[in-house]
Structure 1
């Protein structure tokens, strides 16, 4: 196992360990922009059969399920998926998957992921977008919610002076984990994915509350 594999394994373990308190945390974390997010979901192209990648404890799964026909929710942590299953959403199915080594069995009308792209290292970036492209119907849309550099203030320690930006996180019991954390500027991200076959727009969210959330809506321009 190389250093990057070890880092991604540590990242996955961190979120498995956080599953029990993650749901309360994410609700509080996104509260400043909750009303705007509700508006964005309701006006989004997230209709039909939707794939949610890295669903976590289901904060977004529940909201997307209100506008989608069906949601397939994937996560690497079974502990997170157990929480999603506990929501008993009738049009949601869950599956455990390592998104860096997952092959889509079909294609969906739309794909959604939140607070995930920041955890994708550059060495796996293009392959991840190949997976996204393979999972999306030609007429489909990708919707992303992620963080811009303004959100760095929530971190205890960020090391971003290398090709692998890292955030050091601590659990309540004191254990520390290093995770990948890349804070994309919206235009930087749009430029980065353009050669990979995607184009779209970015909408900053939460700035009036001092937050750095960004909502992206992307179309597949061509096969990557």
Structure 2
């Protein structure tokens, strides 16, 4: 059995950086983002969710994943003095993780959220949030939010 949308105009897929994207007044019934929220610094969280809110049609839903602060990260805890030759992910601390690749090292914004903390933060902005279940990695969770 092959599934197809009712018509080509019923399905719109947009891939964009939300901070730079101009939606040209369009709104969407469903917004999905993955491996993104943990790269939004705390001081841009409200700005980000305001942008999402402006893109969501009335009655729409946002589906996303987040890194669960209550579950240990699969990354290495200790950081070597020198970057490794291969890819190495070091467990985040204080909102930052360290990555190594081919002898280079860089820091990455890595915000962890306890599910109750994330739910409360979004509730304060008028969103209802449900944690749906496990994500791709052992410390990720899928969630859905609506206003």
Band the TM-score falls in, shorter-chain normalisation: 0.7 to 0.9
Residue matched to 1:123? 43
1:179 to 103, 108, 112: 108
Q: Residue deviations 1:121-172, cap 9 Å, x none?
A: 0111111101000000011001112221325222414331xxxx1011112x
1:188 is aligned to 2:109: no
Residues 157 and 169, structure 1, Cα contact 8 Å, conserved in 2: no
Q: Which of 92, 97, 120 matches 1:167?
A: 97
1:211 aligns with 2:130: no
Choose the corresponding residue for 1:73, options 14, 25, 30: 14
Match of 2:31 in 1: 111
Q: Which runs of 5+ in 2 are unaligned?
A: 76-88
- The counterpart of 2:68, out of the listed 122, 127, 148, is 148
The structure that is strand-richer by fraction is: 2
- What are the Cα deviations for residues 67-90 of structure 1, in whole angstroms up to 9, with x where unaligned? xx4242324xxxxxxxxxxxxxxx
3-state SS of 1:156 partner: strand
How many residue pairs match? The answer is 124
CA gap of 1:121–1:204, structure 2 versus 1, over 3 A, is: same
Once residues 158 and 200 of structure 1 are traced to their aligned partners in structure 2, the CA distance between those partners, rounded to angstroms, is 24
1:129 aligned counterpart, secondary structure? helix
User: Runs of 5+ in structure 1 lacking a partner?
Assistant: 1-46, 49-68, 76-96
The structure in which a higher percent of residues are helix is: 1
TM-score after normalising by structure 2: 0.74
From the CA coordinates, give the structure whose radius of gyration is larger.
Answer: 2
Decide whether the 8 Å contact of 1:104 with 1:134 is kept in 2.
Answer: no
Distance in 2 of aligned mates of 1:181 and 1:193: 18
Query: CA contact under 8 A between 1:204 and 1:212: conserved in structure 2?
Result: no
What does the per-residue CA deviation read over 1:98-127, in whole Å, with 9 as the maximum and x for residues that have no partner?
x22334321001100111100000111111
Partner residue in 2 for 1:84? none
Q: Deviations over 1:165-221 (max 9, x none)?
A: 1011112x2211111101111111011111222112113316xxx92221111112x
